Structure 1
Amino acid sequence: MTDFEKRGGVHGVETRADDGKKTLIGYAAVFNSDTTIGDYFIERIAPTAFDKAIKGDVRALVDHDTGRVIGRTKSGTLRLAVDERGLRVEIDVPDTADGRDLWTLVERGDISGMSFGFRVTKQEWDETGDLPKRTVLEVELYEVSACAFPAYDDTELGMRDLNSARQEAEALAAERDKRAKDAAAAARRVAEKRATMEQKIRGIRQG
């Protein structure tokens, strides 16, 4: 998947055990928190980013490894919610090798971060500051992960999006410039025709 991106942070992962069910709780994303991506641009996740995405079929993974599934929204073992802080995640940890290992690592504090895999479907760029700022407005969400090293990578994808935004802005500016020039040329033609007509009228009156 060429436009698949990963982001995350050490926002904290909690453990909760009720009636034998073990649940991990944390935030895969925090809203309106600026993050510098590879010293190339600043990224901010808008509160609207996951409104549609959490309604899809999303997996919970360990370290973005698709072979290590530990939950899924479709089965109810992964629950996603958007609140004032960000994208809240609850994972009912399975009684598998991955699940048991993950639970132990979180309890020990060895794993304390969460991340998410996504594709941007709507964004805005602002280049008025020292670094371009990307505001992610809407995404397709594929997975959330418990991670030892939450990812802030895929700078090439972000730069590609920035270049696309620049090209689109340049095309719009060129189109606006062309329309302005066409309008000015049309106005000149009208003025010339009017002047020619007035000259003919004066000639007729003088004759």
Structure 2
Amino acid sequence: MNEKEKRIFTLSNIEIRAGTEGSSQVIEGYASIFDSPTMIGDMFQETIAKGAFAKSLMEKADVRALFNHNWDYVLGRTKSGTLTLEEDEKGLKFLVTPPDTSWAKDLMISMQRGDINQCSFGFQVVRDSWNWDVEPAQRTIQEVKLYEISIVSLPAYEDTEAYVRDRFTEQRELHYERQKLIKQIEEALKR
């Protein structure tokens, strides 16, 4: 009954951007989206409820960020401070500072190309509920013990997206937008 399970999700609002003070890039996004149903194998529909990760986060579980659920490819870890996790209204948000390794760089290149843009997580169900009166049956996961999140190539949840954003490009675009707005204001004041 208390077996470890994995769910694969598309990363939402993921970005790779230049980091600060010694870190070159970070990966961030959503490892899980709340209230977003998906079919699990053609057997049942599953939804992750808001608050499902709250206890694991409150207890400061030592969670790892992995590549394709492979414990040999650790991108970050909460215990070391290279992975941060939080729940917000949308889902389980994460930020990971990956190691300066060739495989992590390869992963980020694949993410920037858009080839890999999904996420999954490994967990043990603590509390769930089922509705057997509908077809397909519906499962709502209300609480989990979280072990890992993973950047993966095959998602279970198809409704979210991932993107890569260069922090410096974004700052440059914001600067140009501000300059444009300042010119418009100056012209309006001259009238």
- Normalising TM by the smaller chain, what interval? 0.7 to 0.9
Match of 1:139 in 2: 144
Aligned runs of 1:162-201 on 2, under 5 Å?
none
Query: In the alignment, residue 16 of structure 1 is paired with which amino acid?
Result: R
More helix, by proportion:
1
The answer as to whether partners of 2:38 and 2:156 remain within 8 angstroms in 1 is no
Unaligned runs of 5+ in 2: 158-191
Match of 2:15 in 1: 14
Match of 1:51 in 2: 54
* C-alpha deviation, 1:11, in angstroms: 3.0
Structure scoring higher RCO (CA < 8 A, sep ≥ 6) equals: 2
Pick one of 67, 73, 82 that aligns with 2:78. Answer: 73
Report the number of matched residues: 151
Q: Distance in 1 between matches of 2:67 and 2:156?
A: 13
Q: Distance in 2 between matches of 1:64 and 1:127?
A: 31
Indicate the SS of the match to 1:52: helix
Give yes or no for the alignment of 1:88 onto 2:93. Answer: yes
The answer as to whether partners of 1:6 and 1:151 remain within 8 angstroms in 2 is no
Indicate the SS of the match to 2:54: coil
* C-alpha deviation, 1:47, in angstroms: 0.6
| Residue-by-residue CA offset, 1:22-42 (whole Å, 9 max, x unaligned) | 110111110011111112111
Query: When the two structures are superposed, what TM-score results if normalisation uses the length of structure 1?
Result: 0.69
Larger radius of gyration: 1
Match of 2:66 in 1: 61
* C-alpha deviation, 1:98, in angstroms: 2.1
| Residue-by-residue CA offset, 1:65-120 (whole Å, 9 max, x unaligned) | 01111100000000001001000111101101222111111111111001100010
Identity %: 46
More strand, by proportion:
2
Match of 1:148 in 2: 153
Query: When the two structures are superposed, what TM-score results if normalisation uses the length of structure 2?
Result: 0.75
Match of 2:27 in 1: 24
Moved runs in structure 1, 4+ residues, more than 6 A? none
Query: In the alignment, residue 90 of structure 1 is paired with which amino acid?
Result: L
Match of 1:159 in 2: none
| Residue-by-residue CA offset, 1:141-188 (whole Å, 9 max, x unaligned) | 110011111357xxxxxxxxxxxxxxxxxxxxxxxxxxxxxxxxxxxx
Indicate the SS of the match to 1:111: coil
Q: Distance in 1 between matches of 2:144 and 2:27?
A: 24
